[in-house]
Amino acid sequence: MADGAVPRFWREIPQRYNLISNQCGSCKKIYFPPRESCPYCRRKSMGKMKELKLKGTGKILTYSIIHTAPEHFEGQTPYPIAIIKLDEGPKITAQIVDCDLDDIKIGMRVKSTFRKIQEDGYMGAIHYGYKFKPVEVKK
């Protein structure tokens, strides 16, 4: 990760803070992160992609527990990451929080929450974004 790479991560704030996706005006498929055009409709979709805020709810398709941390995540291990299928269709990769490691299951319903993702060292910018926590099953 390039330290001090502020503009690159600033551009993605709408996605990281508010799950802003976009939708193809032609086939209605939803993309996160947003795309210039729909890979399936291609030229038919150009200029027809519409911004759409996602709810942040979905379910876990798969997960792993990271024990060997990458740069910027030292001291946080072990932590879980997962691929989550959001209810509107797109799939994303994110950490799971507020859940015992042993309780994470494929199929678990989760909801997005706002957390610190990483920072460019103690002097650098702080990058916030989405992580996902289990949704209470109402009894």
Partner 1 sequence: MKNIGIVSYGAHIPRLRIKSSDIAKAWGKDPETITSGLGIIEKSVPSPDQDVATISVEAARAALARINIDPQDIGAVYVGSESHPYAVKPTGTIVGEAIGATPILKVADYEFACKAGTAAIQTCMALVKSGMVKYGLAIGADTSQAAPGDALEYAASAGGAAFIIGKEKVIANLNETCSFTTDTPDFWRREGRKYPAHGGRFTGAPAYFRHIMSNAKYLMDLVDTKPEDYDYAIFHQPNGKFPLRVAKMLGFTTDQVNQGLLCPIIGNTYSGASMLGFASVLDIAKPGNRIFLTSYGSGAGSDAFDITVTNYINELPREKAPLVSQLIEKKQYIDYATYAKYRDLLYED
Partner 2 sequence: MMRDVAIIGVGVTKFGELWDKSFRNLIAEAGSKAILDSGISGKEIDALYVGSMSAGRFVGQEHVGALVADWSGFAHMHIPAIRVESACASGGLAVRQGYFSVASGMNDVVVVGGVEKMTDVVGDEATDTLATGLDQEWEAFFGATFPGIYAMIATRHMYDYGTTREQLAKVAVKNHANGALNPYAQFKRAIPLDKVLKSPITAYPLGMLDCSPVSDGAATIILCAANKAKNYTDKPVKIIGTGQASDTLALHGRRDICTFDSTVYAAKKAYKQAKLQPKDIDVAEVHDCFTIAEILAIEDLGFVKKGEGGKAVDDKITTLDGEIPVNTSGGLKAKGHPVGATGVAQIAEIVMQLRGEADQRQVKDAKIGLTHNVGAVGASCIVHILEAI
Nearer to partner 2, 92 or 138 (CB): 92
Q: Count how many Cα atoms sit within 13 Å of the Cα of residue 45 in the half-sphere of its side chain.
A: 21
Within 18-47, the residues that bind partner 2 by CB under 8 A are 33
> Which residue of 24, 54, 92, 108 would you call a contact of partner 2, by CB under 8 A?
92
> Which residue of 7, 8, 126, 139 would you call a contact of partner 1, by CB under 8 A?
126
Q: Count how many Cα atoms sit within 13 Å of the Cα of residue 53 in the half-sphere of its side chain.
A: 6
Using CB atoms within 10 A of its CB, is residue 10 exposed (0-12), middle (13-18) or buried (19+)?
exposed
Residue from 42, 11, 37 nearest 22 by CA: 37
Nearer to partner 1, 30 or 97 (CB): 97
Closest distance of CB 131 from partner 1, Å: 7
Is 126 a binder of partner 2 (CB under 8 A)?
no
- Cβ 53 vs Cβ 90: under 8 Å: no
Within 63-92, the residues that bind partner 1 by CB under 8 A are 75-76
